[in-house]
C-alpha cells in the first residue's frame, strides 16, 4: 500500500485535539488492516482519541471505513421486513433469546449477529451453546435461507464482517481505550450496518451492572449510534433500560436459556417480560408491522419460532439443558424485605463461578450461574436463601461469595424500601 499520509502525523493531530479528514481515517483504517501501521502507533492514536474525543464527523468516517473493510450482507429481496436489536450488555439480559423468535412469529426477519460475554456481562452465543447440538457458525447463504424459512437467526458474525473493527477492538481491549463513546458507537454500528438489516433497535443499558453507569453517558452513546444508523439509511431507535438489578432471576448460560423459554411459553419474570415487550413494540414500529407481542408470547407462536430456529441451527429444543453439580445457597442474615440487589456484584459472582471469561479465548461453563431467589421488594426470613450459586467446580464458590459482600440489603419493613425506578428510562430516536 502506497503511503498517502504519515501515521505519526495522524497521532500528533489527534493528540493535539485536531480532527482527521475522511481520507485520513480511511487510509488509517485500511493501512492498519493491511499491516502497514504497527500496533504501537495505532495504540497511541487510540489513547489520543480516548482522551481528546472524536468529532461526530470522525465517528461517521470511522464507522464507514470499518464497514468498507469487509463484506456487507445483502438481505434485499426477503419476503419479510428486516429488523434487529442490539444490547450494550447487562446482567441476566437474555432478551435477545426471546425477541428474535417473537418478532419472527409476528412477521419480521431478524438477522441477529451476536457475540460472546467478557467480564461480568453475558454473551448471547455462550447462552445458546448450552443447548445440545446448537451451532453459532453460519455462512451468509445459510443466514439468508434461515431468515426466509424461519424468520430469525442468532449466530456469530463472520470473519468477513467489519474485520477492521475486530482488529481495533482487540487493541482497545489491552490499551484501556474501550470506554470511548465514539469508538464504542462506531464499533457496534459498523457490525450492524454490515449485517444488512434495514431497521435496528438499540437497548442501551444504564446502571450499576451496565457498561454505562451514568444516564447522561448512556444517552450520549444512544444518540451517537442512532445518528450513525440514520446516516447509513437505517431506521434506528434506542431505549435506555435500567440495569441496577439483574434482569429476571437467572444469571448464567443454561439457566438464562431456561428462563427465556419460560417467557416464550407465556410466563417468566415480570421485569424480563416488560423490557422484552417494550423493545418488541419499537421493533414492530420500525419494521412497519402490527400486532400485540404479549399475545404472541401467550398463544405459542413465539415458542414455535424459537423451536424452529434452534432446530435449524442443529440444536434440539426438547433436550434437557445441563445442570450444575453444585448448588450453594446464600442465606439471609435477618428477616425483612430485600431493599436492593446489585447487578454488577451478581454478574461478577456468576463470572467467577465459570459463567463468564476474563479473556476472549477463555472457555465458559454452560451450567455455572446465580439464581436470584429474592428480588428487591420481596420478603425473606432469616436463614432462607436469597441467592443460589451454581457451579461444577466447588473451588470457585469462595471467590464468588466474596463478590457478593454488600450486594444486597434486607430492611425490617417494606415501608423502608425505596421504590425502584422505571425499567424503561428513555427513548432516543
Phi, psi of 75 (to 5 degrees): -105, 10
| Annotation says 379 is catalytic | no
Q: Does residue 45 lie within any of the structural domains?
A: no
Question: From residue 282, how far is each of 30, 292, 372 by CA, in Å?
Answer: 36, 12, 29
41 to 2, 9, 45, 64, 187: CA distances (angstroms): 18, 10, 6, 21, 19
Reported pTM = 0.94
Distance, CA of 314 to CA of 132 (rounded, Å): 8
Q: How confident is the model at residue 417 (pLDDT cuts 50, 70, 90)?
A: low
What is the CATH number for 341?
Answer: 3.90.1170.30
Does a structural domain hold residue 229? yes
Distance CA 280, CA 275 (A): 9
Q: Which of 166, 191, 352, 396 is catalytic?
A: 191
Whether residue 289 sits in one domain with residue 375: no
> pLDDT digit string (tens) for 92-113?
999 999 999 999 999 999 999 8
Which of 14, 61, 85, 86 is an active site residue? 86
Average pLDDT over residues 155-169: 89
Q: pLDDT by residue (tens digit) across 3-61?
A: 689 999 999 999 999 999 999 999 999 999 999 999 999 999 999 999 999 999 999 99
Q: What is the pLDDT of residue 2?
A: 47
Residues 305 and 336 in one domain: no
Structural domain includes residue 66: no
Q: How many domains does the chain have?
A: 2
Percent of the chain with pLDDT over 90: 86
pLDDT at position 415 over 70: no
Q: Which of 312, 338, 361 is the last residue of a domain?
A: 312
Burial class (CB in 10 A: 0-12, 13-18, 19+), 107: middle
| List 14, 166, 172, 192, catalytic entry | 172
What CATH code is carried by the domain that includes residue 213? 3.40.1030.10
Do 114 and 201 have their domain in common?
yes
Known catalytic residue at 187: yes
Three-state DSSP state, 337: strand
Mean pLDDT of 349-366: 86
Active-site entry in 165, 244, 262, 342: 165
- Determine whether 86 is an active site residue: yes
Indicate the average pLDDT of the chain.
94
Q: Which structural domain, as residue segments, surrounds residue 207?
A: 84-156+195-312
- Active-site position among 114, 187, 190, 208: 187
Amino acid at each position: 500500500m502506497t503511503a498517502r499520509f504519515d501515521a505519526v502525523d495522524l497521532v500528533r493531530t489527534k493528540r493535539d485535539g485536531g480532527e482527521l479528514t475522511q481520507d485520513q481515517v480511511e487510509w488509517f483504517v485500511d493501512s492498519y488492516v493491511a499491516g502497514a501501521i504497527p500496533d504501537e502507533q495505532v495504540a497511541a492514536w487510540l489513547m489520543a482519541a480516548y482522551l481528546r474525543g472524536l468529532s461526530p464527523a470522525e465517528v461517521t468516517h470511522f464507522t464507514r471505513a470499518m464497514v468498507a473493510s469487509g463484506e456487507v450482507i445483502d438481505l434485499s429481496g426477503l419476503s419479510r421486513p428486516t429488523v434487529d436489536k442490539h444490547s450494550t450488555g447487562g446482567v441476566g439480559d437474555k432478551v435477545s433469546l426471546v425477541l428474535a423468535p417473537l418478532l419472527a412469529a409476528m412477521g419480521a426477519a431478524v438477522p441477529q449477529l451476536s457475540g460472546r460475554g467478557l467480564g461480568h456481562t453475558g454473551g448471547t452465543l455462550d447462552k445458546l451453546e448450552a443447548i445440545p447440538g446448537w451451532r453459532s457458525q453460519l455462512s451468509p447463504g445459510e443466514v439468508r435461507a434461515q431468515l426466509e424459512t424461519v424468520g430469525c437467526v442468532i449466530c456469530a458474525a463472520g470473519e468477513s464482517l467489519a474485520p477492521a473493527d475486530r482488529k481495533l477492538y482487540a487493541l482497545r481491549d489491552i490499551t484501556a481505550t474501550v470506554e470511548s463513546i465514539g469508538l464504542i458507537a462506531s464499533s457496534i454500528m459498523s457490525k450492524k450496518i454490515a449485517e444488512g438489516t434495514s431497521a435496528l433497535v438499540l437497548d442501551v443499558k444504564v446502571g450499576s451492572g451496565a457498561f454505562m453507569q451514568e444516564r447522561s453517558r448512556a444517552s450520549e452513546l444512544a444518540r451517537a449510534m442512532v445518528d450513525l444508523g440514520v446516516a447509513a439509511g437505517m431506521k434506528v431507535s434506542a431505549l435506555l433500560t435500567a440495569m441496577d438489578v439483574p434482569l429476571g432471576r437467572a444469571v448464567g448460560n443454561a439457566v438464562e436459556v431456561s428462563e427465556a423459554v419460560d417467557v416464550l411459553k407465556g410466563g417468566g419474570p415480570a421485569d424480563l417480560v416488560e423490557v422484552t415487550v417494550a423493545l418488541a413494540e419499537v421493533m414492530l414500529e420500525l419494521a412497519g408491522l402490527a400486532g400485540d407481542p404479549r399475545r404472541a408470547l401467550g398463544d405459542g407462536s413465539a415458542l414455535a419460532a424459537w423451536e424452529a430456529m434452534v432446530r435449524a441451527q442443529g440444536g434440539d429444543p426438547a433436550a434437557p439443558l445441563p445442570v450444575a453439580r453444585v448448588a450453594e445457597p446464600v442465606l439471609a442474615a435477618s428477616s425483612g424485605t430485600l431493599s436492593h440487589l446489585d447487578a454488577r456484584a451478581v454478574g461478577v459472582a456468576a463470572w467467577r463461578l465459570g459463567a463468564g471469561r476474563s479473556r476472549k479465548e477463555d472457555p465458559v461453563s454452560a451450567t455455572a450461574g446465580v439464581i436470584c431467589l429474592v428480588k428487591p421488594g420481596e420478603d425473606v426470613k432469616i436463614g432462607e436463601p436469597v441467592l443460589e450459586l451454581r457451579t461444577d467446580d466447588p473451588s470457585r464458590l469462595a471467590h464468588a461469595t466474596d463478590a457478593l459482600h454488600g450486594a444486597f440489603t434486607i430492611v425490617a419493613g417494606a415501608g423502608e424500601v425505596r421504590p425502584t425506578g422505571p425499567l424503561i428510562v428513555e427513548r432516543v430516536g
